[in-house]
Structure 1
Amino acid sequence: MKIALAQIITGREAERNLEVLEEYARQAKGGGAELVVFPEATMRAFGNSLHDIAEPLDGPWANRVRSIAAELGIVIVTGMFTPGSAPDGGRGKVRNTLLVTGPGVDTSYDKVHLFDAFGFLESDTVDAGSGPVTFDAGGLTFGLATCYDIRFPSLFTANADRGAAANIICASWGAGPGKVDQWKLLARARAVDTTTYVLACGQGDPATQGTEPHGAAPTGVGHSAVVSPFGEVLSELDGAPGLLFADLDPAVVKEARAKLPVLANRREF
């Protein structure tokens, strides 16, 4: 199965971000991909208010993504924001949601592990999801994860237990000393932990376009990558926007699990 990772840099305007999504989805389809992954916060970049754009999964932004996926005949995975709780009638929170839509697929995942780290408190404005989500496309099962989730191996193992041959991570990774190295290390580790392909798609680095980040908001560092079930980086981008293609072979997953049966050998403590 041929897949694509669309490393884009989004901004404040949700409609403009949709235009970028459509442009890259068309390029992915033109390159032969059956599935294209977009980053976390594709709907609107972090560092902007999320409350005024959060919408239900049957709202206009999500339905436009569905229309693009249906027109092109491609599965799209993309980050958006949906309404969350509104305790005591106050200003509501949102959910950090991945929408998955395309031929034979329509599901979503809400980020489980919220990024309360490196001076950023995602939990101030976002409600956590409740558990793992997988979906089937192109004869493969995919697991879903978002950004900070990559630091928690149990989610990836849970996806593998549900049949995932590949784990998708959509991110808007925060910049800082050592952060790119951590992103790369964690993507490879999660692949080896679970003997799955890891499709790690992040927002591009705004600095590559002459824009410096403001405040603590994680706005992306790039370095989207596809990692094999053996932990080998098959393809990787740098910090700039771009489109990455890769072929996923279920026989490689089968081989990895025969040679390195970590899922079968693990013990619970």
Structure 2
Amino acid sequence: MRIALAQIITGPSLEDNLDLLAGYARQAKDGGADVVIFPEATMRAFGNPLADIAERTDGPWASRVRGVAAELDLVVVVGMFTPGVEGKVRNTLLATGPGVETSYDKIHLFDAFGFAESDTVEAGTEPVTFVAGGITFGLATCYDIRFPALFTANAVHGAQVNIICASWGAGPGKAEQWDFLARARAADTTTFVLACGQGDPASAGISVKGTAPTGIGRSAVISPFGAIINQLDGRPGLLFAELDTALVDDARRKLPVPSNRRNLG
């Protein structure tokens, strides 16, 4: 299967962000991709109000995404915001396209490095996987990458590939943490990891104020052995990769982490 990671920089406008998504999705299709992955907060960038734009996964914004996926015959995974309780939102990944229709609500909220996601976001509770082209994908979002149990749960549910969509916060050591955490989650689970982040606003001359995590780029495709297959820098771009699940099978024969795992409670 050929996949594409769309490393974009979104802003406050839902319409502009949809146009960006549609353009990159078409480029992904033209490049032969069967699945295209967009970052967390594609619907609207962090640092902007979220409650006023949150909608259900059958609402107008998501329906437009669904239309793009249907038109291009392409599975699209994209970060959006759905309504939560008491004025909060849920940080949601929508996966939609041929034979695929599901969503995942981010479980681990980013209350770290001076940012409190839980002030405005309600946590999800359940891992989510989906099947496309005979391959099982698990879903995760940004801060989830620091919690191996979610990636293991996805693998237990059959995931051969783990998708992590992010709007990673900048700061000392943060780029290195993103890189090694993505590699570690692949090695933990002997899955491919597709790590798709928002691009670095500074790379496009965009000034960012405050502590909201707005992206550093460095989207990457990681092998089931934890090796970086390919990676972008901070600038917007499209990263293609071929996924061969025979590599997952090979990794699990040589390094049977899933079958050696013990439930320690």
TM-score, normalisation: structure 1:
0.98
Deviation at residue 82 of structure 1 after TM alignment:
0.4
- Secondary structure at 2:177's aligned position in 1? helix
Deviation at residue 138 of structure 1 after TM alignment:
1.1
5 Å-filtered alignment, 1:107-118, equals 107-118=102-113
In structure 2, what residue type is equivalent to 1:19? D
* Matched residue, 2:126: 131
Deviation at residue 216 of structure 1 after TM alignment:
0.5
In structure 2, what residue type is equivalent to 1:142? F
Q: Does 1:6 align with 2:1?
A: no
- Secondary structure at 2:144's aligned position in 1? helix
How far apart, in 1, do the equivalents of 2:205 and 2:72 lie?
A: 33
* Matched residue, 2:35: 35
Q: Which of residues 232, 237, 247 in structure 2 aligns to 1:242? A: 237
Structure 1: which 5+ residue stretches go unaligned? 87-91
Aligned-residue identity in percent: 73
In structure 1, what residue type is equivalent to 2:153? A
* Matched residue, 1:253: 248
* Matched residue, 2:97: 102
* Matched residue, 2:197: 202
* Matched residue, 1:181: 176
How far apart, in 1, do the equivalents of 2:261 and 2:129 lie?
A: 22
* Matched residue, 1:15: 15
Deviation at residue 211 of structure 1 after TM alignment:
1.6
* Matched residue, 1:89: none
How far apart, in 1, do the equivalents of 2:120 and 2:263 lie?
A: 34
How far apart, in 1, do the equivalents of 2:68 and 2:249 lie?
A: 33
TM-score, normalisation: structure 2:
0.99
In structure 1, what residue type is equivalent to 2:31? G
Alignment coverage as a number of residue pairs:
264
How far apart, in 2, do the equivalents of 1:57 and 1:206 lie?
A: 27
How far apart, in 2, do the equivalents of 1:195 and 1:98 lie?
A: 23
In structure 2, what residue type is equivalent to 1:223? R
Root-mean-square deviation (CA), in Å? 0.5
* Matched residue, 2:157: 162
In structure 2, what residue type is equivalent to 1:41? A
How far apart, in 1, do the equivalents of 2:145 and 2:161 lie?
A: 14
Deviation at residue 212 of structure 1 after TM alignment:
2.6
Structure 2: which 5+ residue stretches go unaligned? none
- Secondary structure at 1:167's aligned position in 2? strand
Deviation at residue 174 of structure 1 after TM alignment:
0.1
